[in-house]
Structure 1
């Protein structure tokens, strides 16, 4: 699925109270805000063809999504980081074709947003059920 259960479980283990889950809820809902802001910045950077900014934003969101175990978002953000670094998907081979990279970035950002929307829906449901 969209969430690595053992990683997310470690966050849930930090909750003092399984009923209100105040601690993990705070982390998760902060991530939602962070992700939405980051995606907005990615859109701006993509329009400006600012590869370095896209690399940084991809790296940033990769880290915070990995912390929560959001594996699909993490993987897409890692690709965004690589493309922003003007590398191929693996991050090891230089990709000189900026048109191609921009096209890949466009697609990958769209995928990341879609994956985020799915996981956000699941997590919001989880927290409303446990409220």
Structure 2
């Protein structure tokens, strides 16, 4: 792996480097181990994002919280901080906990006690999680010099 690619990934703020580098070190024992982990995670993300979409439509806050928790743990274990932090928001909002004091636009007329309010907050976190995933996937493709 070139030093330039390592530095680009470190500078991207998409990964927690100490966690990520530990995974990469495992490639010494089993070639391609880390890449396989990230490929498995990509599949997991795609399935979970689909479930989040479905549960946003049905406003199932408990399930959304569970899905956020599930993906948060997987992303954190891989050092994917942008995805992990947004999934933590989904998890908390699903329990009606505004963990980061996020506010909708001042012109919003949604009652903060309604499920619709929490669905909007989850939708914001979900959009940011998808963006973080796209950026992370691109950065990892460049790092591994291959498509995940």
TM-score bracket, normalised by the shorter chain, equals 0.7 to 0.9
What's the CA shift for 1:21? 4.2
Match of 2:121 among 96, 104, 120: 104
Aligned length: 124
CA distance in 1, matches of 2:114, 2:57: 17
Q: Which residue of 2 aligns with 1:14?
A: 26
Change (3 A) 1:21 1:128: farther
Aligned-residue RMSD, C-alpha: 1.8
Could you list the per-position Cα deviations for residues 51-102 of structure 1 after superposition, in whole angstroms to 9, with x for gaps in the alignment?
A: 11101100000000000111111110000000111211259xxx73322111
- Is 1:124 aligned to residue 134 of structure 2? no
Could you list the per-position Cα deviations for residues 23-78 of structure 1 after superposition, in whole angstroms to 9, with x for gaps in the alignment?
A: 00110110011011111110000001011110110000000000011111111000
Change (3 A) 1:96 1:21: farther
Could you state the TM-score of these two structures normalised by the residue count of structure 2? 0.78
Could you state the TM-score of these two structures normalised by the residue count of structure 1? 0.88
- Is 1:85 aligned to residue 85 of structure 2? no
Query: Which 4+ stretches in 1 moved above 3 angstroms?
Result: none
Q: Which residue of 2 aligns with 1:57?
A: 67
Query: Runs of 5+ in structure 2 lacking a partner?
Result: 1-12, 102-111
Query: Runs of 5+ in structure 1 lacking a partner?
Result: none
